[in-house]
């Protein structure tokens, strides 16, 4: 009798082909964050029961660019960096579940397949996009240093359309790089029934956080540009900014090593 191995598909006798290695997953990267307030009703649209709006500042949104290297425990991916490097742009809001405040990623675009698969496992609603973010560098005039006055741009496109762009100018040290993405994530994992009409095969509310974290100095910045664009299959621009909260820049190292089941979903079949 055959035993197939591997954390994800395709599963084989050796497990070597799995699109995802076993966690823990390690990440080193740079985060460019813009926080702003939108109409809380637009946030509420994205929070199915049993989630509610966060009690305080319920319209707060974080739009985050991340330029990552990631790897498994072996670190093998780092020496074949096409399997390690990826970029993402994602939108986080907050919500409330059983009296506790959670962060929740409502939209996310990445540029590698392993990142898509990790996201589906973690409940991130990932799509492919083209994501770019200014990189700091210590030499030459083609990059900012990480210092007061440094300017960082982030752009996002998908399906050959630009969806978002932002520019942040660093103004000085900060105590946090935002409050919207600062809670454990509350995500739905979701897979429709193979017969299309039955109850979903997977509909689960899960909680997930970094299992360990380290980071460099936190920088605050002014948000000089924040544009969200409409597209036929995207609704990012419904989360229109009414008021800028702030911009942030930080270099971080993160480990992810699993989450926990919070509740069964109550979504029923696709409607």
Question: Nearest distance from residue 59's CB to a second copy, in Å?
Answer: 15
Nearer to a second copy, 3 or 172 (CB): 3
d(CA 66, CA 88): 5
Task: Give, as ranges, the residues between 102 and 131 that touch a second copy (CB under 8 A).
Answer: 106-107, 112-113, 116-117, 120-123, 125-128, 130
Question: How much helix, strand and coil, in percent to the nearest 5, is found in the chain?
Answer: 10, 50, 40
List the interface residues with a second copy, window 23-42 (CB under 8 A).
23, 26-30
Binding mask 55-84 for a second copy (x = CB under 8 A): -------------xxxx---xx-xxxxxxx
Beta bridge partners of 250: 31
Q: Could you say which DSSP state residue 161 is in? A: E
Q: Please, which residue, 116 or 170, has the CB nearer to a second copy?
A: 116
Distance between CA atoms of residues 24 and 26, nearest Å: 7
Among 99, 139, 172, 175, binds a second copy (CB under 8 A): 139
Site for a second copy in 143-202 (CB under 8 A): 143-144, 151-153, 155-157, 159-162, 165, 167, 188-197, 201-202
Do residues 123 and 208 make contact, with C-beta atoms less than 8 angstroms apart?
yes
Q: What DSSP state is assigned to residue 42?
A: H
DSSP alpha helix (H) spans, the chain? 40-44, 113-122
Least distance CB 269 / a second copy (angstroms): 10
Residue 94 engages a second copy in binding (rule: CB under 8 A): no
Residues binding a second copy: what is the number (CB under 8 A)?
Answer: 121
140 binds a second copy (CB under 8 A): yes
Interface residue with a second copy, options 6, 59, 178, 221 (CB under 8 A): 6
Whole-number minimum distance, CB 147 to a second copy, in Å? Answer: 14
- Binder among 215, 222, 237, 240 for a second copy (CB under 8 A): 215
Q: How far apart are CA 135 and CA 239, in angstroms?
A: 27
Tell which phi-psi region holds residue 90, choosing left (phi > 0), alpha (psi between -120 and 50) or beta: beta
Distance of alpha carbon 139 from alpha carbon 187, whole angstroms: 41
């Amino acid at each position: 009798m055959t035993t197939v191995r591997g954390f994800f598909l395709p599963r084989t006798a050796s497990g070597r082909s799995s699109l995802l290695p076993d966690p823990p997953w390690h990440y080193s990267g740079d985060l460019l964050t813009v926080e702003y307030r939108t109409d809380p009703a637009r946030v509420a649209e994205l929070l199915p029961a049993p989630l509610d709006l966060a009690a305080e500042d319920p319209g707060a949104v974080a739009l985050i660019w991340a330029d990552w290297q990631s790897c498994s425990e072996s670190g093998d991916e780092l020496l074949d960096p096409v399997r390690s490097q990826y970029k993402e742009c994602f939108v986080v809001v907050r919500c409330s579940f059983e009296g506790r405040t959670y962060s929740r990623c409502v939209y996310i675009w990445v540029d590698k397949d392993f990142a898509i698969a990790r996201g589906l496992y973690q409940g991130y609603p990932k799509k492919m996009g083209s994501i770019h973010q200014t990189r700091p560098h210590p030499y030459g005039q083609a990059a900012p240093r990480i210092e007061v006055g440094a300017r960082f741009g982030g752009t996002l496109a998908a399906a050959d359309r630009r969806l978002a762009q932002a520019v942040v100018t660093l103004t000085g040290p900060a105590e946090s790089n935002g409050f919207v993405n600062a809670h454990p994530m509350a995500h739905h994992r979701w897979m429709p029934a193979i017969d299309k009409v039955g109850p979903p095969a997977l509909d689960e509310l899960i909680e997930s956080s970094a299992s360990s974290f380290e980071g460099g100095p936190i920088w605050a910045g002014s948000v000089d540009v924040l544009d969200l664009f409409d597209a036929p299959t995207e609704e990012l621009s419904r989360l229109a900014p009414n008021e800028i909260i702030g911009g942030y820049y930080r270099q971080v190292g993160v480990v992810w090593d699993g989450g926990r089941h919070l509740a069964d979903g109550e979504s029923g079949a696709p409607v």
